[in-house]
Amino acid sequence: MACIVCGNPQMAGLAGWHATCPACCYESAALTPAINAHTGPEVNEAEREAGLKALRLENFKTIVHYAKKHARPNARRLLDVGSAHGWFLETARADFDVLGVEPDAVVGSRAAARGLPVRSGYFPDVLAEGERFDVIVFNDVIEHIPDIRSALAACRERLDEGGILILNLPNSRGFFYRLSKLIARLGWRAPFERLWQKDLPSPHVHYFNARNLCQLVAGQGFELAEAAELPALRARGLLERLRCAGNVPTLSLYAQYVAIMAAIPVLRMFPSDIIVGVFRKKAAG
């Protein structure tokens, strides 16, 4: 199968469903999404929310900062694709007129019930004809979309002149992802499968690094405005996050907590597992 970034043939990866491009390092997975089918193992949604919320909110504040920094001075309309619980909409609505699109009907209606402007369905199908934005954001979403080129083309179409596209996604050069690949080579595949979200309702189908992501997006009529990393681990909310990993005995939980807290400054020396790319729509012609 040809690499979607550079067109070179991909090689077999670390599992039957995993492939890598030797030329640009793009990685893909032949995993099938089943949103709204909920066939995978049930994740305790409330616990997952609590565990991830503190980290997400901090990173979302940084993303709103990027949106304000790079969008035109009078930019107002912001679209959040895959708005999930609506946390990004809540973070951004002080600065923008926000709209969310969420394919998971249950999650989307729960956010809408909290008074957030969320449309249930897929981007760009649920948008009205001619509906356009100054900023489009994908938080942990683009890596789930099989036909990523069509999604990027739709972003270009739905952005006004000089509009900004912000992609926040996992980094294939990240410390934890590379560690999971090392461990998978040694025979234990669980962490690697977890990072691809294998067997969850919406698995990842792409793994990019800053460089091949930029190559793909630039080819769709955008130019890079800023590339950055966001912390994948923060001290705030860490304990809650560890708790939702399952029935871990208390002593072991605190041992993990102390070990990770001590490791955070060291981990900052390695590439983070979360990257963000800010792209500006190039003028036509």
Cα 225 from Cα 90, distance rounded (Å): 25
179 contacts Zn ion (rule: CB under 5 A): no
| Between 61 and 149, CB nearer to Zn ion | 149
CA distance 121 to 157: 19
Least Å distance between CB 90 and Zn ion? 37
Q: What's the min distance (Å) between Cβ of 148 and Zn ion?
A: 13
Q: Judging by beta carbons within 10 Å of its beta carbon (0-12, 13-18, 19+), is residue 139 exposed, middle or buried? A: buried
Residue 24 or 169: the one with the smaller Cβ distance to Zn ion is: 24
Cα 63 to Cα 53: distance, rounded to the nearest angstrom:
15
207 lies in the site for Zn ion, by CB under 5 A: no
Residue 3 interacting with Zn ion (CB under 5 A): yes
Collapsed DSSP state (helix, strand, coil) of residue 104: coil
As measured in angstroms, the least distance from the Cβ of 28 to Zn ion is 10
- The answer to the question of residue 26 lying near Zn ion (CB under 5 A) is yes
Assigned token pair, 4? 């979607």
23 vs 35, beta carbon nearer Zn ion: 23
Among 21, 135, 159, 233, binds Zn ion (CB under 5 A): 21
User: Binder to Zn ion among 13, 18, 20, 24 (CB under 5 A)?
Assistant: 24
Least Å distance between CB 268 and Zn ion? 29
Does 208 bind Zn ion (CB under 5 A)? Our answer is no
Long-range (24+ apart) CB contacts under 8 A made by 105-111 are: 105/36, 106/36, 108/83, 110/85, 111/83, 111/84, 111/85, 111/86
Stretch that binds Zn ion, among 7-15, 65-73, 123-131, 189-197 (CB under 5 A): 7-15
Ramachandran quadrant class, 35 (left: phi over 0; alpha: psi -120 to 50; beta: rest):
beta
Residue range at the interface with Zn ion (CB under 5 A); choices 3-11, 32-40, 153-161, 235-243: 3-11
Binding region for Zn ion (CB under 5 A) out of 2-10, 122-130, 177-185, 265-273: 2-10
Residue of 138, 133, 122 whose CA lies nearest to 80 = 138
| 169 is a site residue for Zn ion (CB under 5 A) | no
Token pair 């890598």: residue:
20
Q: Which of 14, 15, 17, 23 binds Zn ion (CB under 5 A)?
A: 23
Shortest spacing between CB 2 and Zn ion, in angstroms: 8
Q: How many residues bind Zn ion (CB under 5 A)?
A: 8
Residue 78 or residue 214: which is nearer to Zn ion going by CB?
A: 214
Nearest distance, CB of residue 217 and Zn ion, angstroms: 14
State the distance between the two ends of the chain, measured CA to CA, in whole angstroms. Answer: 31
Which residues lie across from 100 on neighbouring strands?
Answer: 80, 118
Question: From CA 8, how far away is CA 78, in angstroms rounded?
Answer: 35
Q: Using CB under 5 A as the criterion, which residues of the chain lie in contact with Zn ion when the complex forms?
A: 3, 5-6, 8, 21, 23-24, 26
